[in-house]
């Protein structure tokens, strides 16, 4: 069956000292957790996080990756560089990347392909804007984003799909558990079309203003197998509480 996973997305937050304290607190708290966990951190802290979490079962992930392998791409980081320092997960297609850096469905698919070639598991983010939801296009958008990646990378190689309605990210507005479940079920159906066996085991995460107070009701839904957690992952105690909510499911 599916093994739940809760992934922290720190975005552009953290410092060497804050990260050290976060890991210390989380490792002290996590003995009672059964779910899998991982932390996605800014590039410059990834080596530090790999070192701090060495010998634990907490994974370390990047937040994006270049579509190029190497060469004259100032400021870019390749999948092979991530592999080189021991990173095992990477978020692709986060809505902030899609919106602010204009990453297309095709870019996101190429990133996933580069990661998988290096043995790094992509966390594939999909999600509609408020405008798209109001126009009744949620499923169309989410499945288009997902299928673009599936055209290049088999579902069995994903770490997870993360459904993150753009209107719920960092806004304090969470999708109701029923609304989220509806989209998760559509994602599961599309994955099943692509690979029925992989669709049964691949976790589909919900993301967007998940916090200790609302995590449990979301995680109780049959197709919500964990979360991608932004704001509430910045404090180890809150992240631990969110992880504990999936264990209680």
164 counts as binding ligand PGA under rule CB under 6 A: yes
Residues 206 and 158: their CA atoms lie apart, in Å, by 15
- Burial-class residue 68 by CB neighbours within 10 Å (0-12, 13-18, 19+): middle
Residues 235 and 110: their CA atoms lie apart, in Å, by 33
Query: Please, what is the minimum distance in Å from the beta carbon of residue 233 to ligand PGA?
Result: 7
List the interface residues with ligand PGA, window 7-26 (CB under 6 A).
9
Closest CA to 9 of 89, 118, 121: 89
Query: Please, what is the minimum distance in Å from the beta carbon of residue 248 to ligand PGA?
Result: 19
Residue closer to ligand PGA by CB (options 86, 212) is 212
Residue closer to ligand PGA by CB (options 164, 223) is 164
List the interface residues with ligand PGA, window 217-246 (CB under 6 A).
228-232
Residue closer to ligand PGA by CB (options 154, 170) is 170
Q: Which residues are catalytic?
A: 94, 164
Query: Please, what is the minimum distance in Å from the beta carbon of residue 144 to ligand PGA?
Result: 20
Question: Given candidates 39, 121, 210, 215, which one binds ligand PGA under the rule CB under 6 A?
Answer: 210
Question: Given candidates 4, 127, 208, 226, which one binds ligand PGA under the rule CB under 6 A?
Answer: 208
170 counts as binding ligand PGA under rule CB under 6 A: yes
Contacts with ligand PGA by CB under 6 A lie at: 9, 164, 169-170, 207-210, 228-232
């Amino acid at each position: 069956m599916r093994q739940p996973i809760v992934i922290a997305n720190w975005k552009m937050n953290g410092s060497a000292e804050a990260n050290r304290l976060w890991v210390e607190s989380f490792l002290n708290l996590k003995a009672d957790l059964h779910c899998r966990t991982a932390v996605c951190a800014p590039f410059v802290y990834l080596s530090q996080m790999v070192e701090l979490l060495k010998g634990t079962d907490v994974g370390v992930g990047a937040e994006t990756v270049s579509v190029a392998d190497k060469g004259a791409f100032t400021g870019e980081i390749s999948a092979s560089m991530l592999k080189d320092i021991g990173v095992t997960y990477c978020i692709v297609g986060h809505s902030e990347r899609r919106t602010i850096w204009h990453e297309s469905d095709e870019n996101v698919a190429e990133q996933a392909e580069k990661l998988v070639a290096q043995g790094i598991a992509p966390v594939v983010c999909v999600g509609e804007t408020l405008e798209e939801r109001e126009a009744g296009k949620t499923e169309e958008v989410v499945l288009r984003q997902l299928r673009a990646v599936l055209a290049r990378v088999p579902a069995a190689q994903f770490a997870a799909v993360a459904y993150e309605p753009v209107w719920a990210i960092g806004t304090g507005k969470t999708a109701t558990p029923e609304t989220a479940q509806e989209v998760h079920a559509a994602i599961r159906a599309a994955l099943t079309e692509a690979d029925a066996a992989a669709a049964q085991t691949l976790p589909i995460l919900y993301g967007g203003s998940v916090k200790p107070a609302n995590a449990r009701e979301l995680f109780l839904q049959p197709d919500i197998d964990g979360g991608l957690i932004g704001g509430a992952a910045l404090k180890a105690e809150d992240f631990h509480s969110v992880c504990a909510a999936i264990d209680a499911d």
